[in-house]
Amino acid sequence: MTAPRFVAACVQMRSGRDPAQNRDAAVAGVRAAAERGAHYVQTPEMTSLLERGRDNLFAKITVPEADITLAALRETARAHGVVVHVGSLAVRNGDKVANRAFLIGPEGEILASYDKLHLYDVDLPNGESWRESATYTGGACAVVADLPWARLGIAICYDVRFPALYRALAEAGAEILTAPAAFTRQTGEAHWHVLQRARAIETGSFMMSAAQGGRHEDGRETYGHSLIIDPWGRILAEADGAEPGVILAEIDLGLVADARARIPALRHARPFTVETRTAETRTVETATARRA
């Protein structure tokens, strides 16, 4: 039987502080991708708003049911008959914020949602400091969802640094993995491509990650370079640096089975324990050996 094929797209954005403008840019990007033949369209992390200030963030976000970007993208998905993967939106979650992805079906229905598991609390060499846990609450559940052509594993940005998550998604049947992102320029230049390719190669999966790119109104700078990568680690499509735009690639699901047959790492995993050998242990072993 012939493996399914479809066209995937990533919309690269430069979201700012105005949710209405960001909504319009996201809708325009999804529409452009659909008009170019895409069946699945992904937008970046924080599609609707990039705002570092906690007070300003809370003033502009709401619950998912009232989010203008989610509503607009549901209508866009329905109008064009495409699957829209909203990389993430900041939505209210009690007294904190959830960094939540939404998967929208071609009838405008919400197929799945996912809250980012791993929160970005880091201090970078250039002086940048990020404490997502001060504002956001992390998720507790990994998510896979069925598309008409394949099973999708949903993740967000910093999650890409945790290979155990991606292996678990692949072991749950995901053939397509994701990490829509607002990657900082500094870490993106160092690690973006290698992390994306590694997650594809080690699981024999497609990797698709729409990104934010450029200098944003809140002062941050993101790396861009949205990517679509095949299960052998080959880059099928890449955005032009940090510039907003749309990339597309034809996805042949037969390549997943081919890669996993060539190197069946998912099947070859074995349980193991880890032993810690201390200097004291080695001394005892050496003394025992000498007596023998």
- Please give the positions annotated as active site: 45, 116, 157
Q: What is the CA radius of gyration of the chain?
A: 21
Q: Is 12 exposed, middle or buried (0-12, 13-18, 19+ CB in 10 A)?
A: buried
Query: What does residue 26 show for φ and ψ, rounded to 5 degrees?
Result: -65, -45
Measure CA 261 to chain center: 25
Which are the contacts of 182, defined by CB distance < 8 A and separation ≥ 6?
44, 45, 46, 50, 157, 211, 212, 220, 222
